[in-house]
Structure 1
Amino acid sequence: MTSNEHPHTPAWFDISTPDAPRARRFYQEMFGWPVNVIDETYALVGDDHGRPAGGIGHAGPGSPYTGFVAYFRVDDVDAALASAEKLGGTRVMEPTDTPTGRIAAFADPDGNPVGLLSS
């Protein structure tokens, strides 16, 4: 980390939508993102070097959020989620292990969804 980098900058993004194929086409055409479809519900989108930088997924009835969510890197997802709740946030997605790390999400006091990610 350089002296200009802050440890809690966005590390991942997720776009959750009721029509994932349409969203994948839109963002692929809009920004030229390479898209790697994992299954019918989720696709990874990457940078110019093919590294995944985020994902586009299907938001069904049980989805914790819809829309664009930035995920911030933290040392401990569970501890950060507990801290968010103490500060007035509301848990919207329980901590879950994924191939990219442990994730969770909360809504801030204004209802904005925020993601957490740890390695």
Structure 2
Amino acid sequence: MGTQGYTHGRFVWRELMTTDAAKARAFYGALFGWTFDEIDTGVRSKYSLIHHGGKQLGGLFEHHGPSQWVSYVSVADVDAVARMAVELGGKVPRGSEDIPNVGRFAIVQDFAGALIVAFHDLKGDPTPEPARPGEFCWETLGTPDAARAKAFYGKLFGWTTMKGWGGTATMFTTDDSTRGQIAEIQENKEFKPAWLPHVRVEKLVPTCDRVSELGGQVPAPLFAVPGVGRIAVIADPTGGHMSIFEPARK
């Protein structure tokens, strides 16, 4: 997963837990041009690495629960983060646990039930680079309590918050700057609390059409963020949700 050096507090990996790995691979391969390499991690015997443009982007594996994307955050001490999560009113459904020759992780559930993974890669993290089409570029937290989420994740990962996107949206940042922005908070009491990863695409509407052709769904209307771009939430045929993003033309 890693290269060298660490980017503590940044998202470094995304992973799909799916009810049908073969169906998920076919869908995302056709939609984004992703390719897959099945490996034995020592934790899961059938784990598919996601590749695109010469990069490893994430992974997917089959499990018995609902299909769901989860995002990994780089931390210095996984065990300390896991303990802190419980102290802050969250839970640790799995961990802390080693992936042989890769690193250590813990699955954390925040106070509202949203899942996120604290991760430390033995070989370091990827160098942050602008996302190209087909690559992950952003995260959004949907939560019923934005104020509590700010406090929870601020203490857990050292994130701070700042205004972005025209001074209205609330962003998590690693260093109090726009350069350190890594995610957005959306307060919503209607939907299940969750972290939603975003993938950059060239054209949003044709990609949404392709989602439907491939057996997926577009459950949320397309919406535009002035000066930033257009976004749509999609669901793969197994029920895993993510967002796709078309940047505004400059």
TM-score (norm 2): 0.41
The equivalent residue for 1:48 is: 53
Task: State the identity %.
Answer: 31
- CA RMSD in angstroms, aligned pairs only: 1.9
Give the letter aligned to residue 101 of structure 1: G
Question: Measured at CA, do residues 31 and 8 of structure 1 come closer, stay the same or move farther in structure 2, by a change above 3 Å?
Answer: same
- Residues 34 and 51, structure 2, Cα contact 8 Å, conserved in 1: yes
Give the letter aligned to residue 56 of structure 1: L
Question: Measured at CA, do residues 7 and 45 of structure 1 come closer, stay the same or move farther in structure 2, by a change above 3 Å?
Answer: same
Greater Rg by CA: 2
- Residues 82 and 106, structure 2, Cα contact 8 Å, conserved in 1: yes
The equivalent residue for 2:205 is: none
Q: CA deviation at 1:114?
A: 0.5
Q: Does 1:112 align with 2:114?
A: yes
Q: Distance in 2 between matches of 1:52 and 1:111?
A: 28
Q: CA deviation at 1:100?
A: 2.8
Give the letter aligned to residue 56 of structure 2: P
Residue-pair matches, total: 110
Give the letter aligned to residue 54 of structure 1: G
Q: Distance in 2 between matches of 1:46 and 1:77?
A: 26
Residue 61 (structure 2) aligned to one of 45, 57, 62: 57
Structure with larger RCO (C-alpha < 8 A, sep 6+): 1
Detail structure 1 runs of 4+ shifted over 2 Å in the superposition. none
The equivalent residue for 1:12 is: 13
Which moves more between the two structures, 78-87 or 94-103?
94-103
- Deviation string 1:36-68 (CA, Å, 9 cap, x unpaired) is 11267320002311x32210101136xxx7401
- Deviation string 1:48-103 (CA, Å, 9 cap, x unpaired) is 11x32210101136xxx740100000001111111111111111111121143111
Unaligned runs of 5+ in 1: 1-5
TM-score (norm 1): 0.83
Unaligned runs of 5+ in 2: 1-6, 122-250
The equivalent residue for 2:243 is: none
Q: Distance in 2 between matches of 1:19 and 1:59?
A: 8
